[in-house]
Structure 1
Amino acid sequence: MNYTYRIYPDLHQSALMLDWLETSRKVYNRALRELKDWINSRSGMVDRCSIEREYIIPADVPFPSYHRQQNDLPKLKESWTDLKNVHSQVLQTTIRRLHDTWEAFQERGHGFPRFKKFGQFKSFVYPQFRENPIVGNCINLSKIGSIPISMSRPIPDGFKVKQVRVQNKARGTQWYVVVSIQSDVSVPDVPLHGRAIGIDLGLERFATVSDGSFFERPKFLKSQHRKLKLLQRRAARKQKRSANWEKAQIKVARLHDHIAETRKDFHFKTAHKLCDQAETIFAEDLNAVGLNRGMLRKDCIDASFGQFLSLLEWVCWKRGAFFMRVNPNGTSQTCPHCGATVRKLLDVREHQCPECGYQTHRDHAAAQMVLLRGLNVVPVDNRGTETACAGVLPGSETARQVPKSRKGATRKTKK
């Protein structure tokens, strides 16, 4: 688990950590340059040379792997003296970060690692600690010193600090540490149990629950858009790289951070409210990346459905609730009562089934379909206390038959 805390370094410590970030960025770019040169030297024909450029790298030179580049760091410190000021394991994790991106690129087939510009490297990692670095209200970081920390919540008993990531936000004016803690206790998978609900995410209503309740969507960016536009206009009029330009950029960065934190707080509170309503939650497996590229991308990015689903999954795991994502295709085009296909355009906000006459809000009907699909997908072996509505699943091809004795049964809910 990861716990995030705010830290308050002094001016010397803040300047030192900014210098570490810049050095880590240069090490990252140097390792990436070596990697790209080796790849380009092997990309041409064996019996001819390129007419544009030639990479003179001997054929017996091995691939610059993580271990090879990591072992080159001590030799590099002799000519690059600034590396001696940075903790050795911080530099090693920087090389590890590059090769993690490279391995992910090989699996996906796209997303080749890119060079980092000035200011784009915003975190570094201490991968291990011999002792707990948090003592009282301070955290001890090697070669940096003791830094005051705001312990917003204590570390649970039985957990050990494994690593610490130092993060820079708002252009170096705010610092955080992400503390990774670990325990030997194994947590089993949560089975389907208790009351089950389905949720449908949208822009008219942020989340609509299958029981008819819904959550309005706060427009985080739109509410602050006028102020953000004013600050950005002021920053654009300043001379670039001047002191006043930097002050104006800090104000813009702090407002962006405030919008992001407000959105994240709303997501957490909504996730906890959903866990208060039910012990089993089904949600649409939305393609958040595709939504962020559509014609409603500004509103979708402001709502941040992908972040909400990730946080909801985490909150469900923490509170012992069952969570699963289901296929969202056709949930708003299917009647949850009879399973008939009811075609609707996006501007039609009411669901009216011509087969059975069922009428409700479009998002409510979609949430009911999400619930039915989720109950149909979960195998019976993975269920705890089965709900009464888990019998007939309208709109699904593999609906299970319900015994006559269970038809019309009701389920008692906890108050």
Structure 2
Amino acid sequence: MSFNLLSSLLAAIGMLLIGTVVNRKIAFLSRYNIPDPITGGLIFSIAAALMLWTADFTISFDHSIKPVFLLMFFSGVGLCADLRLLKHGGKALVIFLLVLLPFIVVQNVVGVGMARLLDLHPIFGLVAGSITLVGGHGTGAAYADRFAEINNLQMVMDLSMTIATVGLIIGGIIGGPIAQFLINRHKLRSSAEESSETHEFQEAPPPISTTTALGALAGVFTAVIAGQWLADHFSGSSITIPGFLWCMLIGIAIRNLLPFTGVKVDDRASELIANVCLSLFLVMTMMTLNLIDVALSAGPFLLIILVQVVVIFLYVVFVCFRFMGRDYEAAVTSAAFIGFNMGSTATAMANMQAITARHGPAPTSYLIAPLAGAFFVDIMNAFILTGMLALPFLGG
């Protein structure tokens, strides 16, 4: 059965609503901040796998609009970024990057060590390391072509896509629970939540108007169009900046230049649009997973991923959380750290979204995580992988 674009969107919205209801009804999912699109998408993927396994019945979707949702999301993030809040966020970004750099090395050392232990080619350890877990599907595909051609490794492309998919799922599942563990253990609260308690009679903001929503939507589309043009224009440069980062940067520029023209900015409309786009992107990603292929091709790599999960949990609790300040923002940032080191930047943002929706905003985390996950981490990952692949025992 094939769905056209509108039918695919309707199905995605339906599964997103189902995921929301399930998360509210099942205490465990609600308590540990499992993102609604992850729950809804996984429910569909499991049902689709059962139908394929028992009745050889397949469902295909038109998900051509999915990349647009991702660009709209990051544009919306940029439109919510008031740079005046970076007075105390710049230092946090530097600390976060200093925490991130050694972890990428650790992740690859763990992957290569486990590959040798399982009698696999050590390059498969990098594939089960930062190539797919930090780099995602795109980086995994790029390196897989190289490994298949130069190192003559079989099925490396399928394995790369499988590991990236498994990492995406795990990153979305464990980020919220680990952050909740930190919040509960250290009795943390959002500074905005505490501020609201000291201002009990603060007047509620007016509802979002049609004009405000249309203005935010115009800003999002402007950022998407300009961001895509800039990405295409600079695609041949020595350092390629991802298109979604260009969109976010344009959104930031719009948000921070508009006040100088006398225009009042209501970030709530941009935030709403960004959240809707992110949810649709993630639920469509999860719905198109073929869990049977994932299960059949993963094999011993699941053991490597399991060890990687243990390593990132220990690193987050004892390194990332502590260095980021041991406060509520540190817990939210830790969830983002897990998201884009096990899945993608979109997963990191979904983890933060799930936590802040329950416990209150974390403005510093929302500023530093997209920049670190979308731009700096790719540069650091490429630098580290280049160095490791030059090692003789990796056969580079």
More strand by share: 1
Q: Scaled by the length of structure 2, what TM-score is found?
A: 0.24
More helix by share: 2
- Structure with the greater alpha carbon radius of gyration: 1
> Which one has more relative contact order, counting CA pairs under 8 Å at least 6 apart?
2
